[in-house]
Structure 1
Amino acid sequence: MIIVMKNGASQEELAEVEKKIIALGYQPHVIHGETRNVVGAVGDERGKEKLQIIESMQGVERVVPILKPYKLASREVQPEPSEIEIVPGLGIGGKEFVVVAGPCSVESQKQICETAEAVKQSGARLLRGGAFKPRTSPYSFQGMEEDGLKLLAEARKLTGLPIVTEVVNPRDVELVAKYADIMQVGARNTQNFALLKMLGQLDKPILLKRGMAVTIQEFLMSAEYILSEGNRRVILCERGIRTFETATRNTLDISAVPVLKQQTHLPVMIDPSHATGHSHLVPSMCYAAAAAGADGLLVEVHPCPEEASSDGPQSLRPAEFDAMMKKLRAFVEVTGRKMAG
């Protein structure tokens, strides 16, 4: 249920509503609006009718059922889009289009620092890089783990770029949180509910990637796991889904952007590198993402893709990334936004 407070309702009235929601066996989630507050009452769907009694309380305008199975992620609870602050002065989901760039995995100090400097010069606002790498084969490169996190922190110190890196195992959440500005959940962990619940207890942005065989509703239900634990700083990322097509690594579901924008207030980003698997296809998908209304991009960039430990064929060289970024600005501006930075 959504409890809509009256315009001008006092903090005391809001507190009483929260207490009543808890007494009825539900969890209150307050969304502060410009003119009024809204409280989402989340819990067991059975018996939710008893929440209707709250409509008679002081300061309450109305009580409205939430029809979507994902409650806190839906636009029923929050009609306005969310802007997720990463660091002061940089947010995702606002008027600015944000590009995250860097290698698939951290391999050496030279590699990550050289890449960080190059992508920053071209206009990227965040640095991506994997320290823990979940791979299909147990014999493939699995990442440098904490040593990789330390190199990411060194690159951040050198360039000032906040870092995005993946957490794979629930036991590593605390470790990765010490270094990362954004915690990434990869496609293979989209429905790792134990991991999602742990991340929901952090006060840190979470970049949630869509699973390769996950529907949009299932994707939003995964986001709901994080939101329901109290962490509202969730960013969605479409990275391609598995279809019968073999010409590309995955099939980029570009239509997911407007669908998600209609269904949820959460920001939506696109990862064109994992979607296509081929570097020459990445720029076109970047332009398409901007035109479709995405809030930003995650692009893989490597100074020497032929020597990359993972995903070299889908990684742009710094010069290719720079050329793409210059052309991208025109697509972003057509949508009424501007490039961050």
Structure 2
Amino acid sequence: MLIKLKPGLRAAEVDRLKAKLAELLPGADLAGGRGSLSVHTGRLELLGAKLALIENLPGVLKTELRLEEACPRALTAPPPELDAIFKKSRGDRFILIAGPCAIEDEASYLAAASRLKAAGANALRAAVYKPRTSPYSFQGIGPKGFSIIGKAKRRTGLAAVTEATSETQIAAIARACDVIQIGARNMRNYELLKAAAAPGKPVLLKRAPGATLKEWLLSAEYLVKYGTAEIILCERGDSFSKPDPRGLDLKMIRRAAAATALPVIADPSHAAGDRDRVPAQALAAMKAGADGLMLEASPNSDSAVIDGRQTLSLPAFTRLLKDIKKLRR
């Protein structure tokens, strides 16, 4: 931990601060003294528990935890065992999740699921709840969608990835689906993170727009602490509700992949907000080292009631997969 000191502290005041730190963090190594102090301790949970007290000590201007101090569990979690869920050969980290933004009705979803599997998807987007900016927008079909998910899983043999928007939905999603998704809007919903971790199922965690790597991994830390280390990190850009010329944060993908053994995938559909820009964003993510993609794709992209403008048609999805295969050779 780095402690920035208030300007003008006398040596005696710094000594008193060091003594108090030694009292709060027994055995910690303290270094520095002019302008800042560096604190090293292996007791990371104690450090987190005492942080508020340290910040309030006389002479402390601000504190900053190193990434390994803030997120020790997320940084040391082993790669999750996802081969059986995503029907992959051992050692193949590539994950391809595809489907309409949300399930709209049984017939269209089952048709989409079958055709996406035939095209090469190894998991299905299976949203029945959708957090929307406007209360008048389509919110998802709700619990009746679980029976449709069951039929799609039996028909295709593919895993279902379903977003939770409330703690009350977790039990039903865990029974019906294979991966619980925490969307970008809920990355900082800590009670939802605790609830999502409790069943011990894999969780796909999207980065919230504007979130730093530390903030993203702190949300992953909640998941590990409260019940699951089976985590997939998903980068989705920094914009909501409109096309964004910035697209995916490719640097964030590289930094997350370097910091943790957890798989890092990308959602170019939401990052681009425009189906014409999705393929380029998807390929850029793969070149940046992404372990997979989450794509909105459907045979009925032109008539989708939600996110149609960023949903790939089946021909476009098939072309993109051919380009991805070439890139992965």
Which bracket does the TM-score occupy, shorter chain normalised? Answer: 0.7 to 0.9
Structure 2 match to 1:160: 157
Residues 76-119 of structure 1: CA deviation (Å, up to 9, x unaligned):
x35xx614326367369943412110000101111111111111
RMSD value, Cα: 2.4
| Rg (Cα) greater in structure | 2
Residues 42-76 of structure 1: CA deviation (Å, up to 9, x unaligned):
6221699xxxxxxxxxxxxxxxx9843111111xx
Structure 2 match to 1:299: 295
1:124 corresponds to 2:146: no
- TM-score, length-scaled by structure 2: 0.77
1:236 corresponds to 2:233: yes
The 1:89/1:239 distance shift into structure 2, 3 A limit, reads closer
Give the C-alpha shift of residue 317 in structure 1. 0.8
Structure 2 match to 1:114: 111
Structure 2 residue identity aligned to 1:273? S
Higher helix share: 2
Structure 2 match to 1:58: none
SS in 2 for 1:106: coil
Q: Is the Cα contact below 8 Å between 1:207 and 1:236 reproduced in 2? A: yes
- TM-score, length-scaled by structure 1: 0.74
Give the C-alpha shift of residue 196 in structure 1. 0.5
Structure 2 match to 1:147: 144
- Percentage of identical aligned residues: 36
In structure 1, C-alpha distance between the alignment counterparts of 2:67 and 2:158, rounded to whole Å: 39
Q: Is the Cα contact below 8 Å between 1:86 and 1:205 reproduced in 2? A: no
Picking from 309, 314, 324, the partner of 2:310 is 314
Picking from 167, 182, 186, the partner of 1:185 is 182
Structure 2 match to 1:20: none
Give the C-alpha shift of residue 164 in structure 1. 0.5
Any stretches of 5+ residues in structure 1 without a counterpart?
1-39, 49-64, 334-341
The 1:239/1:89 distance shift into structure 2, 3 A limit, reads closer
SS in 2 for 1:261: helix
Structure 1 match to 2:26: none
1:69 corresponds to 2:70: yes
Give the C-alpha shift of residue 306 in structure 1. 2.3
SS in 2 for 1:72: helix
Structure 1 residue identity aligned to 2:47? E
Give the C-alpha shift of residue 129 in structure 1. 2.3
Q: Is the Cα contact below 8 Å between 2:80 and 2:229 reproduced in 1? A: no
Structure 1's consecutive aligned runs of 4 or more residues displaced over 4 angstroms after TM superposition are 91-94
Structure 2 match to 1:45: 47
SS in 1 for 2:150: helix
Q: Is the Cα contact below 8 Å between 2:97 and 2:293 reproduced in 1? A: yes
Aligned pair count? 272
Structure 2 match to 1:289: 285
In structure 2, C-alpha distance between the alignment counterparts of 1:91 and 1:299, rounded to whole Å: 18
Any stretches of 5+ residues in structure 2 without a counterpart?
1-41, 51-65
Q: Is the Cα contact below 8 Å between 2:269 and 2:296 reproduced in 1? A: yes
Q: Is the Cα contact below 8 Å between 2:159 and 2:178 reproduced in 1? A: yes
